[in-house]
Amino acid sequence: MKIQVYGTNCAPCKLMLANTQEAARQLGLQDAVQHMTRIQDMLAAGITGTPALAIDGEIKVMGKALEIPAIVALLRLGNV
């Protein structure tokens, strides 16, 4: 599973990264999380608002930080 968190250094982006890392850790997927900070990568992925979360290349959330339980649920769906 490939988990990508897109965002810069803003507070919501930092929160999304931390929450995603914790959710991934809870599921034993911590090595799968990538933090994507380059604007070029965001544009190439179709990201128009940060923070954003992509699982296996599919954008799941854009423009808001999710809480850990919501991220766990998304990761479980992607892992079925």
Is 40 known to be catalytic? no
User: Which pairs with CB-CB distance under 8 Å and at least 24 residues apart come from 38-41?
Assistant: 41/6
Of 3, 5, 13, 23, the catalytic one is: 13
Please identify which of the residues 1, 2, 10, 48 carries the catalytic annotation: 10
**Residue 13 falls in the annotated catalytic set:** yes
Angle, helix 68-78 to helix 11-26, in steps of 10 degrees: 50
Distance CA(75)–CA(25), nearest Å, equals 11
Instruction: List residues with catalytic annotation.
Output: 10, 13
